Structure 1
Amino acid sequence: MANFLTEEQQDWLDVVNDFMDKEITVEYVRKCDMNREYPYEAYAKIAAQGWLGILIPEEEGGSGGDIFDYTLMAEGLGKYGFDFACSVLVPTFTAMNIIKFGTQEQKDTYVKPFVSGDIRFSVSMTEPDAGSDVFATKTHAHQNENGDWVINGAKMFCSGATAENTVIAMLVRTDKDDKHGGLTMLLIPNDTPGLVINKLPTLSRHATGTTEIFLDNVVVPADAVLGKVGQGHEIIINHLELERCSVAGAYVGNAQEAVNNALRYAHQRKQFGTAIFNFQVLKHMLAENQTRVDAARLLVYRAAALKAQGKEAPRESSMAKLYGSETLKQCALDGMQILGGFANLPEADMERYLRESIQSTIGGGTSQIQRTIIAKSMRLENV
């Protein structure tokens, strides 16, 4: 697979992988997961490298890289679990929405502090009755006599919303009579009065955390609108395409480590007088999973390459997200089988990979939604 990348791209991926091994470590990622602790220390280290600003234009304080550079970073950061990569990826998606849709004042307020690691972002779309169907959003906002927005409602499964100094990009309904054009994105600091955020005891996302949010007459100023009033759906579409491409890179990075972990164990573990790798059934399982990972990686790189060229790639991004997440799940599940009883111990890491893999087929659009997007792109006139 290394030959698919340019020498510069491979060097960059190697740098991120080496950083994960030496500066972050699998032990740290494991500890954050076991203790349900946000990885503040690691986040600060990544910010110090300037990596939070890879996609940010140079004139806004970033390094002006492209989505391919970013996806390679996601692949490396996802090595020891998607939850860790999530703490870096999720804030970037909102930062890029501010770059594309925000006012200059919003850019001045938020972007450079984000690149330096002083603030974080989270995005909130899902509600108890609105998940894949964002048009079912019920959390509503209206303007008072001062022009401020008053928000009421409830949100679910918002990643990283409890982390310190986090600004939530929240999708709300601002026009109850316009189903499609009545959605707006508001920027809400997570310490705003009237905002209650609870970290949920979910199967995955132990470190970054996923939350429920309650809003009781939460007030934010008129200029908290990201983009224009009624532009929320457009912003979400832009957000999801970037998200699907990059998270798929993190899935591939973790899937590769799941295969590597199982392969190391298969060579070390002896049964019936020989290493279990010598049993054909395990050889074939590992060979099939490595093939899956390589195929998923190529799908990810294709989507990232198209995006880096400035092309729209909703179909390709959905294919990468679908196959990357399903590959991670299969590799982790087979890894559990190969490691046997030891796989159930946190120190083996495989149980964490499996937990995160289950969430990967749901968050950012379920596998079923990705298949629907792909199917919609298949037209008779194209064959």
Structure 2
Amino acid sequence: MTEDMTDSDQLREFVRQSVRAFVHKECDEWRCLEWDKAGTYPKEVFDQIADLGWYGIGIPDELGGSGGTASDLLVVAEELGRGSTDLVACFSLTASGLRTIVTDGSDVQKAELIPAIMSGRTRLSIAVTEPEAGSDAASLLTSARRDGDHYVLNGQKTFCEAAGLPDTIVQLYARTDPAARKQDGISMILLDPTLPGVTLRRLPTMGRNITGVYEVFLDDVRVPVDRLVGVENNGWRQLGAELPLERLIISAGFVGATLQVLEDTLQHVKEREQFGRAIGDFQAVAHLLVDLYTRVESVRLLVYRGGELHDAGQPHTKEASMAKIASAELYADAARYCMQLHGGYGYVDEHPLTMHYVDAVIATVAGGASQVQRNIVARELGLKPR
């Protein structure tokens, strides 16, 4: 640690080393591979994450937060990504969703949920996507009809990560005003998946099997109106406010996963010999790794630039979408190229690279497809992509 490091730099480095040690001990890529293959959710790992105060990073002290900033959250996500991007996805859902409760929740919701979430007693998922409303999320059809002091929910959500985990509350986006412009008639409602009329089905996905991906079916589900977050018909604004930070968190996870893949591969090409020398000494191999290492350092700077803008209260939608594009596509490229450098060994299902390879396939889709992110950036630049 150099003498010219600021207090915040020193704190961030302390967080990084703490999370890295935790991942190495509790949830490295080898353990994550086992959990992923078995479809096992390591509840004890996330309980420890809560005990360590990482969900509370950036939450005000008066609410029981842990201090620090959103950029410190990115450090946690980057290091968790060395284990699995699935860990990061679950962490991100709770960490970013918590901030919506802090900013828009009622006093009752804050008193109930903030301590429960930061202690690990409650986790968050999100339900936006529907069979007919994916990238065009504002076209969602799930309805929330007011009936006295309840909303009656009907519809279907899909690709809801972690929705079936124990002690989870789903931040559900539903249409409360069908007559309004599609973006203006949406509200966020806190859904308990154990309520009568809620059916969950776990999807048989290629990867992301640690936390699981679910469909949510809603059949006349009655939810008290006090589970509405903020004011009615304000859900689209809430979602737009939450997504940039979520994208930065998962982008940091992709950076960490990419670095782990590269470090594994660097060790392999130094040890693996063919034609009388280490394969890493062949120029084609060396240059490929140099290019990937150069890209990951550039992407990391972009991710943390978005975090700095968030911490300063400045617009960062453009930077968050840029980071999502660059980190996801880099992770996919690195997994593919490193699979090639590992040869047949990388294809064996007992190697963590297979988990990274499968998870990297969905990285450019989950959390907002790269094409959608490019449209967001284009609009931020004053363009009108069609």
Aligned equivalent of 2:326 = 323
Supply the distance in 1 between the matched residues of 2:16 and 2:301 (Cα, whole angstroms).
15
Aligned equivalent of 1:272 = 275
Deviates more, 1:211-220 or 1:197-206: 197-206
Match of 1:141 among 140, 144, 147: 144
Are the aligned partners of 2:27 and 2:83 in contact in 1 as well (CA < 8 Å)? no
Report 1:94-113 matches (<5 A). Answer: 94-113=97-116
Supply the distance in 2 between the matched residues of 1:232 and 1:113 (Cα, whole angstroms).
23
Aligned equivalent of 2:17 = 14
CA offset at residue 228 of structure 1? Answer: 0.8
Task: Number of aligned residue pairs: give it.
Answer: 379
Report 1:16-165 matches (<5 A). Answer: 16-144=19-147, 146-165=148-167
Matched, 1:370 2:373: yes
Are the aligned partners of 1:57 and 1:65 in contact in 2 as well (CA < 8 Å)? no
C-alpha distance after superposition, 1:316-342 (max 9, x if no partner): 111111101111111111111011111
Are the aligned partners of 1:293 and 1:327 in contact in 2 as well (CA < 8 Å)? yes
C-alpha distance after superposition, 1:205-264 (max 9, x if no partner): 111111111000011101010111100101110111111111111110001111111111
Are the aligned partners of 1:9 and 1:69 in contact in 2 as well (CA < 8 Å)? yes
For residue 193 of structure 1, give the secondary structure of its aligned residue in structure 2: coil
Match of 2:247 among 241, 244, 248: 244
For residue 346 of structure 1, give the secondary structure of its aligned residue in structure 2: coil
**C-alpha spacing 1:327/1:4, structure 2 compared with 1 (3 Å):** farther
Supply the distance in 1 between the matched residues of 2:125 and 2:214 (Cα, whole angstroms).
11
CA offset at residue 8 of structure 1? Answer: 3.1
Matched, 1:254 2:226: no
CA offset at residue 347 of structure 1? Answer: 3.0
CA offset at residue 4 of structure 1? Answer: 9.4
For residue 64 of structure 1, give the secondary structure of its aligned residue in structure 2: coil
Aligned equivalent of 2:237 = 234
Amino acid at match of 1:15: S
For structure 2, the residue ranges without an aligned partner over 5 or more in a row are: none
Supply the distance in 2 between the matched residues of 1:317 and 1:195 (Cα, whole angstroms).
33
Supply the distance in 2 between the matched residues of 1:271 and 1:297 (Cα, whole angstroms).
33
Supply the distance in 1 between the matched residues of 2:225 and 2:248 (Cα, whole angstroms).
33
What is the TM-score of this pair, normalised by structure 1? 0.96
CA offset at residue 306 of structure 1? Answer: 0.8
For structure 1, the residue ranges without an aligned partner over 5 or more in a row are: none
What is the TM-score of this pair, normalised by structure 2? 0.95
Amino acid at match of 1:244: R
Identity of aligned residues (%): 34
CA offset at residue 56 of structure 1? Answer: 2.1
